Amino acid sequence: MGSSKGENSSQYGGSIPVENVQSLASKNLIEIPPRYLRGEYESEELLDDEALEIPVIDMHKFAVGPSEYKSELEKLHLACKDWGFFQMINHGALEEIEKMKAVTEEFFKLPLEEKMVSAQLPHSIEGYGQAFVHSDDQKLDWADMLFLLPRPSSNKNTEIWPKAPPSFRPALEEYSEKMHELSIKLLRLMAENLKVEPESLVSKFDPDGGQGVRMNYYPPCTEANKVLGLTPHSDSIGLTLLIQVNDVEGLQIRKSRKWLPIKPIAGAIVVNIGDILEVFSNGEYSSIEHRAVVNNVKERLSIAAFHSPHIDTDIAPLPELVQDNSPKYKTIRHIDFIRLVLGSHLDGKSILDYLKL
């Protein structure tokens, strides 16, 4: 992109700094400040069906033999089309995940001043703070986060990465590498399912695609059902790989106009299709709205790794997919797409609605 390191993430725009939620929550407040009260979502119902769960994709099956490969590939295709979400098991990343979980927990346990060493700088999206706050009266999420951009390496800005714990940096580096690898593996399988040349999809993400890692910290809230940990949104990137750090549930996805709570399998990675992959697939795959709720007594932590195409990639349906069908989305430059995302409130699927033809 031809600019110096510090400018790369700052050129995208930032967020208004707001109070640290972890320290707010530790004050044992009698009343939750009004900016966190989300009455607008109170009427939304949970989808209370124990039998309904997102598909589980077993990566081991792809290495067993042709018939297992074929049936798991079909399962993956349906997961991407009908759910936009699945849990991935036997992914071979357990070691990296355990290390990443440990350093994330240690980071959020540090005293506030030490965490603030990695505080978001003005006009930047990287660092410790909150995201998508653009006005002083906007409702706020009951969470803090640490967002870092490990890839592409030319954009990596380790100055803002936590120095404590000392193992943070190597753990994130290994984690980043492993999640990138897994995302490419999945994209290759998805390309096969979409019947496009694998390289036509994979080359957009590898080797120079972007990767953001967002570590979410949701403090407990005495009025847990009146606040939201994360506003309903779809991920405005290609592919998200999310892990639960502790055993507190909170992720819910939009299903049949209700909210379906996700029950994470221990060690699994929750994968979801982002807006950009919905566009690349010309709508064959869906980027599903989701949100996070908080617990009334326990803190919850999660880590999302977001994978994006190279910055010079146009966001448009893959040419192979619009030979026989008309494009369902407008073409937009990636940089303009990012500006649109960062200038918006985190708000349902508004960006996709704007791009739909």
Which residues would be at the binding site for ligand OGA (CB under 6 A)?
A: 214, 216, 230, 235, 242, 250-251, 290, 292, 302, 304
302 binds, among ligand OGA, Ni ion, none (CB under 5 to 8 A by kind): ligand OGA
SS3 state of residue 83? helix
The residues that bridge with 127 in the sheet, in sequence order, are 147
Q: Least distance to Ni ion from the beta carbon of 297, Å? A: 24
Going edge to edge, which strands form the sheet with 251-255? 230-233, 290-292, 251-255, 258-261
Q: Least distance to ligand OGA from the beta carbon of 104, Å? A: 12
Extended beta strands in the chain, E state: 56-58, 85-89, 127-129, 144-151, 210-218, 230-233, 239-244, 251-255, 258-261, 269-273, 290-292, 300-308, 314-315, 332-333
Q: Least distance to Ni ion from the beta carbon of 41, Å? A: 16
Which range of residues in 13-21, 49-57, 113-121, 230-238 is near Ni ion by CB under 5 A?
230-238
Q: Are strands 210-218 and 230-233 parallel, antiparallel or unpaired?
A: unpaired
Number of residues that bind Ni ion (CB under 5 A): 1
Is residue 96 within the footprint of Ni ion (CB under 5 A)? no
Q: Least distance to ligand OGA from the beta carbon of 324, Å? A: 34
Locus of tokens 């490419």? 184
If one counts every other C-beta atom within 10 angstroms of the C-beta of residue 188, the result is: 15
Pick the closest to residue 103 from 153, 36, 171, 155 (CA basis).
171
141 burial level (CB within 10 Å; 0-12, 13-18, 19+):
buried
Q: Which is nearer to ligand OGA, 129 or 317 (CB)?
A: 129
Which range of residues in 9-17, 153-161, 207-215, 227-235 is near Ni ion by CB under 5 A?
227-235
Q: Would you state the structure tokens that stand for residue 314, as one six-digit string?
A: 């146009």
- How far is 242 from 268, CA to CA, in rounded Å? 9
Q: Which is nearer to ligand OGA, 316 or 351 (CB)?
A: 351
Is residue 141 within the footprint of Ni ion (CB under 5 A)? no
Q: Least distance to ligand OGA from the beta carbon of 230, Å? A: 5
Q: Least distance to Ni ion from the beta carbon of 241, Å? A: 11
Question: Which one of 126, 141, 235, 275 is in contact with Ni ion (CB under 5 A)?
Answer: 235
Is residue 299 within the footprint of Ni ion (CB under 5 A)? no
Which range of residues in 26-34, 138-146, 234-242, 319-327 is near Ni ion by CB under 5 A?
234-242
260 binds, among ligand OGA, Ni ion, none (CB under 5 to 8 A by kind): none
Query: Which distant-in-sequence residues (6+ apart) come within 8 Å of 341 by Cβ?
Result: 236, 351
216 binds, among ligand OGA, Ni ion, none (CB under 5 to 8 A by kind): ligand OGA
SS3 state of residue 308? strand
- How far is 234 from 289, CA to CA, in rounded Å? 4
Q: Which is nearer to ligand OGA, 6 or 220 (CB)?
A: 220
- How far is 285 from 288, CA to CA, in rounded Å? 9
Which range of residues in 84-92, 153-161, 228-236, 261-269 is near Ni ion by CB under 5 A?
228-236
Task: Kindly provide the b/e burial profile for residues 245-271, where b requires at least 16 CB atoms within 10 angstroms of the residue's own CB.
Answer: beebebbbbbbeeebbebebeebbbbb
87 binds, among ligand OGA, Ni ion, none (CB under 5 to 8 A by kind): none
Which range of residues in 10-18, 152-160, 229-237, 245-253 is near Ni ion by CB under 5 A?
229-237
250 binds, among Ni ion, ligand OGA, none (CB under 5 to 8 A by kind): ligand OGA
